[in-house]
Structure 1
Amino acid sequence: MKAIFLYAALLATTAHAQVIPPALHGANELAALPGGGWLALDKHALRLVDGSGNERASVAVRGRQFDVRDGLALVVDANAERAVPVRIDAKGLHALPPLPETGFGIEAACLYRDAQHLDHAFLIAKDGQAQQWLLGEPARLVRHMALPPHVKHCRVDDTEATLYVAESGLGLWAYDAAPESAGARVPVALAAPFGKLAKGAGAIAVLPGGVAALDGRGTLHAWRRAGDTWREQAALPSNAHALASGARLLARTDAGWKDAGLAWKASASKQAALPIVLPRAQTAPVARAGDAADDPALWIHPADPDGARILGTNKKQGLLVYDLAGRQTQLLEAGRLNNVDVRQDLAFGAGVRVDLAMATQRDENAIVLFAIDGNGTVKEAARLPTTLSDIYGACLYRTPQGGLDAIVNDKDGRFQQYRITRTDGRFGATLARSWRLASQPEGCVADERTGLLFMGEEKRGLWVADADAAKPMTPRLVLPVGGLLHADVEGMGVYHGKTGSWVVVSSQGNDSYVVLDATAPFTVRGAFRIGIDAARSIDGTSETDGLDVTSARLGGPYGKGLLVVQDGHKRLPDGPQNFKLVAWEDVARALRLGD
């Protein structure tokens, strides 16, 4: 049978019975617009056409392909090899400044409107080079990507934040479109010998709850999404009747554009998206590429709200110190430090008051102490051995007497609690108690107000126990993985407000942060994500290892406190990892917390 899908072009539209004007049957690409109009691309122009087929506006361009969202189109200028955004409004079409040159020929381009309603463009080269841009004036490069070669078509499902790319001769792939994603891909359907899709994939259209694509023979396939898998619902080699649910999938044939004949029912809507808060600032990137930045801790200046310091570990180099503007003030090359914590105004004998930071040193399986002076200057004070074989996470506990305990853990689940001592000006450590969890832990935080110790077991959840080393260790699982909390369970901190105290936990598996009461019954108050601040050119956060939070009244926007989190993927543009600063007031507003 001769395939009727001779051109690699598909259109998904929500128009009910919108008749395609005859003048548009020769268009290379087509999109239905709200209100009954059409956007069409031919060899000479991008055209705005009303429901009767009358042209209302045009942008002269030898366009290779285009994509459209409400009020916006993106067309590839094949002569200039530039992507051109086009605004669509009641007055017509308005070409905006083209995106900067990519350095490659653009084979495929598509739009993405994210959960913040920010518009992005994906631009893909023949050899698999790809870029994601944040649209605006000016447009800004978000990240570089490595996609398959020979991709001529792409589309994004905004609801699922999924980028679909069609690899000629091989198949259809799904990527996470969110800028903070790591770039992993999942096959939707592949050609032999890996699957049954004939000669790979061509044009793509997003459907409610799924995706449709042409194979290399012009047969239309449609798949319904179920998590990270896709189940084929139809394969149509010829024209059929209109779609159910009022949606239509159109295909261009040798006779022009017509209904593809795919019966498709929309899937149930997704769960409500988590609220998004924006960072107010970010630190300078760490001085090592790859997975380097890990955990922050906050030091509060006793007199100057603007004088606080952020201590951050670089697990390939040492300890970094930043001010509240994110500027690096110090680098202490102390080796492979992992977690860091701070306690201030500690008592070590008569008249001896010090501020200390503690970090785990993974090459030496040791505790490293750092002294912090009244101006926030940090210097190494001691290295204290442990008996752990693979030291990992850590936190500090200020005892009721004003002394200090260091709690450290091992990847094998062991915890050790050391009493920090000071004799003749020299620091020491005495083991006070040991215990273990069943699998790998990392993050922990002690709450001196309640005497509770919170511990994260990465794959299982959040545990709580008495922080006092003189009391029995009887951990209770208060927030298991599942629901809002996704493994790995990573960094955590406690915020002390006027009306309540809350634990903030990094839910690394879905790039979010869970907030729960710091006292029994440890009620979960919600979760949030940290998004892009386009105005400040600060990217969002992902795969957060460590965090810290304070309710201290700091300077600038941090009058009700500050949350600092590690960012696993630095974007806008790509670069070494860093730390993001979030005003607690923004978190409280997003989750409707009290003061």
Structure 2
Amino acid sequence: MRRLLLTLALMTCAGGVQAQRFVLAKTALELHDDAGRTLARHATRVKRMDQRSDDGRFAVLQDADSGRIELWRADGQQLKRDAAWPAPALEVEQLCLYRDPQGLLQLFLLGAEGLSEQWLIHERRALPVQRLATPPQPSACRVRDAEAQLYVAEPGVGLWALSADAERPGRRLLLAEAQLGEKALNAKLDAWLAEHPAAAPAARPPIVLPTGQTQPMREAGDAADDPAIWVHPTRGAQSLILATDKKRGLAVYGLDGRERQFLPVGRINNVDLRQGLAYGGRMLDLAVATQRDEAALVLLGISPAGRVSELARLKTTLDDIYGVCVGRNAEGGLDVFPNDKDGRVQRLRLKLSGKTWQADVVGEFRLASQPEGCVVDEAHQALFVGEEKRGIWRLGLAVPGSEPQLVIAAGPGLTPDVEGLAIHPQRGWLVVSSQGSDSFAVYDIKPPFAQRGTFAIGTNAALGIDAVSETDGLDLAPANLGGLYADGLLVVQDGHKRLPQGPQNFKLVPWAAVEKAVQQRR
């Protein structure tokens, strides 16, 4: 009888430490001790299997007859089937397990024709993470958790390495050409892994979990970009998220993530807003977005009930308008700070004459390379601007003619691109998207602009919400929005939507979780 011995797992018994392992017999799944004695046996035909010992002794296998995927555990000296899931649509050629840096269990199902699936296994549920292209007809696969790397053997071709982290998809890399058959190639894969020790895992920032997410964009690709939070004047839980779909327009979501409105205003990139602005004897809530096709600003009004409507299109003198932020000026009106990909940043003063809106240029400066994210510190009359490759600049707004100063350089904890910026005025903190490291950095808004900490947004497996990566824009509201957001809310764009794979969206994080993560690093 031909048997396939897989990896060993350790267990503690009354008699001391004893090794156990799952073994595939021709017509059974067996549990063996270190002496090769059969402790338990379940009659079945198994097509593929992988096993682990990092959370007790368990194995994931595919039943050869039904095609379904099953999770088995060693329960003392007995076999126990914990869960079973319907057969996947693809023909599974290999399967292998992966424990991600957050400690969550994932499974790769490698298809015979090169189309494969990645699942998250959590509390007896199998959640689809993504579909991915892999080498066809694989003869073996291994995952090194510390490297988040999937290794695949393709007979007649060689050994491949792929990213196991769905949030950081990378290019497929051919490690070694080897025109060998299945058995010899599998041996070569094991030898290659033994000869190339796994790299030590990089230090990771504290993880916070999203507790909500918006509906995905209408189309695939790079569509979602920048959010702004509108706080309901009397009922915080009815607050809204304005978010740019940079292919089509502006989406408006409730805190439950459902779309309440969509304004097809064209290819807008960034959006920002302020509430309670004084114009024409009235108090108005206004949002401003950059319209790239028209090199213009789209001015939007928000009613007390949360209805968003377009008020005006305001042409600018910028050639390739990109990011924008807004701030309340001394007269109680709105100053708008759009920027251009060529490095120019303008200060425009928004005015209302009768029913006509206009934006007058009152200042301009230029950075050496492309900016985008920015935020106004109204309490200290300052503008923070992110230059994507270099860091964060600060410009004093109270004194005309002031020059911007580079106050936070890209480096440890802030990996280019520098993207979204937001301020928590009560804490005196600046929150920045460190896009290149899929994380967020927190700084003091006063000199010497010390870094308070960093954090990343992980997978909330219980709610089926994926982690956050490659964030563009973000916003925070330091207000009581009720429930989980009683201490405030952070909203971030997610560059890769998983669980399941789909168009980009925005994730919601309780501010209290951010506070805890930042304090953890001090």
Give the TM-score category using the shorter length.
over 0.9
- Offset of residue 512 of structure 1: 1.1
How many Å apart are 1:186 and its aligned residue?
4.3
- Asked if 1:63 is matched to 2:46, the reply is yes
Cα distance change on mapping 1:391 and 1:27 into 2, 3 Å: same
The correspondence for 1:140, drawn from 115, 122, 127, is 127
1:378–1:61 Cα change, 3 Å: same
**Residue 128 of structure 1: aligned partner:** 114
Match of 1:494 in 2: 423
Q: State whether residues 171 and 201 of structure 1, in contact with CA within 8 Å, keep that contact through their aligned partners in structure 2.
A: no
What is the CA deviation profile of residues 234-290 of structure 1, one whole-angstrom value per residue up to 9, with x for unaligned ones?
Answer: xxxxxxxxxxxxxxxxxxxxxxxxxxxxxx7x76x4343221111111111222222
> Identity of paired residues, percent?
47
SS at match of 1:557: helix
SS at match of 2:513: helix
Instruction: Give deviations 1:33-80, integer Å, cap 9, x for gaps.
Output: 114222222322232111222111233332233222222211222333
Structure 1 residues 93 and 472: CA distance shift in structure 2, 3 A: farther
In the alignment, is residue 412 of structure 1 matched against residue 342 of structure 2?
A: yes
Partner residue in 1 for 2:257? 326
Note the C-alpha offset of 1:578.
1.2
Select which of 135, 147, 161 maps to 1:160.
147
Alignment gaps of 5+ in structure 2: 12-18
Question: Partner letter of residue 68 of structure 1?
Answer: Q
Cα offset, 1:302, TM superposition: 1.3
Residue 162 (structure 2) pairs with residue 175 (structure 1): yes
TM-score (norm 2): 0.92
Shift of 1:223: 5.4
Q: For residue 201 of structure 1, report the CA deviation from its aligned partner.
A: 8.8
* Cα distance in 1, alignment partners of residues 432 and 175 from structure 2: 37
Cα distance in 2 for partners of 1:486, 1:60 equals: 53
**Aligned counterpart in structure 2 of residue 371 of structure 1, from 288, 298, 301:** 301
Structure-1 residue corresponding to 2:14: none
Higher mean displacement: 111-120 or 333-342 = 111-120
Post-superposition Cα deviations, 1:495-540, rounded to whole Å, max 9, x if no partner, equal 123xx32111111112111111121111112211111112211111
| Aligned counterparts of 2:182 and 2:277: Cα–Cα separation in 1 | 66
- Residue 509 of structure 1 is aligned with which of 436, 439, 443? 436
Counterpart-to-counterpart distance in 1, 2:404 and 2:74: 59
AA of the residue aligned to 1:110: C
Tell me if structure 1 keeps the 8 A contact 2:352–2:358: yes
Could you tell which deviates more after superposition, 328-337 or 401-410? 401-410
> Structure 1, unaligned stretches of length 5 or more?
1-24, 192-197, 204-213, 225-231, 234-263
The Cα offsets for residues 101-122 of structure 1, whole Å up to 9 and x where unpaired, read as 2212110101111222221111
Structure 2 residue 360 is matched with structure 1 residue 430 = yes
| Residues 85/420 of structure 1: CA separation in 2 closer, same or farther (3 Å cut) | same
Distance 1:580 1:201 in 2: 46
1: CA distance between counterparts of 2:204 and 2:81? 32
State whether structure 2 residue 511 is matched by structure 1 residue 580: no
Other-structure match for 2:16: none
Distance in 2 separating the partners of 1:570 and 1:479:
30
Post-superposition shift, 1:128?
0.7
Letter in 2 for 1:393: G
- Separation in 1, partners of 2:505, 2:141: 31
CA offset at residue 459 of structure 1?
Answer: 1.4
Task: Give the alignment partner of residue 33 of structure 2, picking from 45, 50, 54.
Answer: 50
Is the 8 Å Cα contact of residues 216 and 504 (structure 2) preserved in structure 1?
yes
Equivalent residue of 1:222, what SS? Answer: helix
The residue type paired with residue 433 of structure 1 is: G
Q: Which amino acid aligns with 1:99?
A: W
Which of 313, 323, 328 aligns to 2:244? It is 313
* Count of aligned residue pairs for this structure pair: 510
Q: Tell me, yes or no, if the aligned pair for 2:247 and 2:267 is still in contact at 8 Å.
A: yes
User: In 2 relative to 1, CA 49–463 (structure 1 residues): closer, same or farther, beyond 3 Å?
Assistant: same
Aligned match of 2:209 in 248, 258, 278?
278
The equivalent of 2:412 in structure 1 is 483
Does residue 1:90 correspond to 2:66, yes or no?
no
The root-mean-square deviation of aligned C-alpha atoms, in Å, is 2.2
Q: How does 1:162-561 map to 2 (within 5 A)?
A: 162-181=149-168, 183-187=169-173, 189-191=175-177, 198-199=178-179, 215=185, 221-222=191-192, 269-349=200-280, 351-468=281-398, 470-497=399-426, 500-561=427-488
In 2, distance between residues paired with 1:342 and 1:552?
Answer: 15
DSSP 3-state at the match of 1:588: helix
- Could you say if the C-alpha distance between residues 525 and 430 of structure 1 is closer, same or farther in structure 2, counting changes exceeding 3 Å? same
Name which of 99, 105, 123 aligns with 1:113: 99
| TM-score, length of structure 1 as denominator length | 0.82
Q: What is the CA–CA distance in structure 1 between the aligned matches of 2:91 and 2:342, rounded to whole Å?
A: 50
Whose helix fraction is larger, Structure 1's or Structure 2's?
Answer: 2
Instruction: Report the counterpart of residue 13 of structure 1 in structure 2.
Output: none
Give the aligned partner of residue 492 of structure 2: 565
User: In 2, are the aligned partners of 1:416 and 1:431 still within 8 Å (CA)?
Assistant: yes
Q: C-alpha displacement at 1:542, in angstroms?
A: 1.3
* Other structure's SS at 1:97 match: strand
**Residue 593 to residue 518, structure 1, CA distance change in 2 (3 Å):** farther
